[in-house]
Amino acid sequence: MYAKLKEESERYKRALGETRSLLRGAEAQISEWRTVIQDLTYSLETERLVSV
């Protein structure tokens, strides 16, 4: 019984570690997208102001 619980606990720990890793990757990707969106917005605003 104890060995089975320990095995299940280890499996949950691994899954949690994988989930945290995926979340860190997602946070990094979101940060990159945010930068791209800010750059595009700045470019569009600059273009709009220049064309006025």
Structural domain that includes position 20: 1-51
Identify the pLDDT of residue 6: 94
| pTM > 0.85: yes or no | no
Q: What is the pLDDT of residues 1-52, one digit of tens each?
A: 899 999 999 999 999 999 999 999 999 999 999 999 999 999 999 999 898 7
Identify the pLDDT of residue 7: 96
**Residue 18: CA count within 13 A, CB half-sphere:** 6
Identify the pLDDT of residue 52: 75
User: How many folded domains does the chain comprise?
Assistant: 1
